[in-house]
Copies of this chain bind each other. A is one copy, B any other.
Amino acid sequence: MSEFRKNPVTGRWVIIAPERNLRPHQFGKREKFRHVGSPESCPFCPGNEKETPPEVYALRKPSTPPDSPGWEVRVVPNKYPILDRQAELRWFDRALFKRITGFGYHEVIIETTDHYKTIPEMEIEEIEKIFFTYQKRLNALRGDKRIKYVIIFKNHGEEAGASISHSHSQLLALPFVPPSVEKEIEVVKEFYLKEGNCALCLMLQEEMKGKERIVEKNEQFVAFIPFASDFPFEVWIAPRGHSSSFENLNKEGIRRLAEIYRNVLRRVDSVLERPCYNAVLHTAPFEGEHKEYFHWYLQIIPQITRIAGFEMGSGILVNVAPPEQAADFLRRAEWKK
């Protein structure tokens, strides 16, 4: 039996429509992640630093010059940016044809020097450095007062929208808070005013009691599949204690996050046979009064579902993997620590 479910954090409705005899390999139909190109031709590989725009940040060995080897994580402007940091920010507020110039930052976070290494294959220290770099860029871009929101995301594999397979994330800094984030703030604020608590805090408490949608937890984080998840095998990783901003995560927290992130991705790789996936960091906007009710989380979405006519017209996604079953598959996944 299918049902409509509403996510109390995103405010979105989804139809959970179980396919009979759910077996994870049914979801393996879409193209898998595969490595493309070679270190020689890859613009993200050491030695090819001149193939990207000059770096804006890098974790690198002392006394190595910018845009040369010696780095561990490297941040560069996207060579084909969809927003332009040199554009003048202007708003044209006509009723029918509202528009804003394409001002913003579009950066690439190159996560490793190794062309072939994916996150599940990294050492914890390597993953910590990626998250540390996210924080660095968030804090740097906070300095540009025209920027209202920074979204950090990862497209892993061609089906997930990545044209380059060398492990990387992207960052888009926007002159306004984007609609999904705005909606989410509105929804959790309303919840807070009505229920007197942060929706995600309560959700984590309930999930930890019930356990059926929990994938894994450690001292600081819970990984779970939301009751009303939009996509099959979509996992949220959230801090157990209330916190609105990923930027505030301390060194110890980053380590715990790196551990659970790698574990979840190993489970996903095992159950879905190395799928392409997207990951999105949901953190609070730089400004505004939402510290009490916005709770940050990292969302991982294996690329399984196609958006078709119904979803486009209704705004309701159809998820054919009941969260309870999907979480069970991920919990029982065979993978090596």
List residues of A whose CB falls within 8 A of some B CB. Answer: 1-6, 8, 12-13, 15-17, 82-84, 87, 95-102, 151, 153-155, 159-162, 170, 172, 174-176, 178-181, 183, 191, 194-195, 199, 202-203, 206, 227-228, 278-282, 299, 301, 306-310, 312-316, 318
B161, B181, B206, B315: the one contacting A314 at CB < 8 Å is: B181
Query: What is the predominant secondary structure among interface residues of chain A facing chain B?
Result: mixed
Can you report 8 A-B residue pairs in the complex whose CB atoms are below 8 A from each other? A4-B175, A4-B176, A98-B228, A154-B309, A160-B306, A178-B313, A179-B315, A180-B315
Smallest CB-CB separation from A306: which chain B residue?
A: B161
Expressed in whole angstroms, the minimum distance between the Cβ of A159 and any Cβ of chain B is: 7
Copy count, this protein chain = 2
Whether B100 pairs with A313 at a CB distance below 8 angstroms is no
Smallest CB-CB separation from A278: which chain B residue?
A: B309
Whether A6 pairs with B153 at a CB distance below 8 angstroms is no
B12, B95, B306, B313: the one contacting A191 at CB < 8 Å is: B95
Write out the residue numbers on chain B whose beta carbons fall within 8 Å of the beta carbon of A308.
153, 155, 160-162, 278
Smallest CB-CB separation from A309: which chain B residue?
A: B153
Write out the residue numbers on chain B whose beta carbons fall within 8 Å of the beta carbon of A102.
1-4, 15-17
A82-B15, A95-B194, A195-B95 known; A301 vs B312 contact (CB < 8 Å) = yes
Whether B97 pairs with A227 at a CB distance below 8 angstroms is yes
Expressed in whole angstroms, the minimum distance between the Cβ of A7 and any Cβ of chain B is: 9
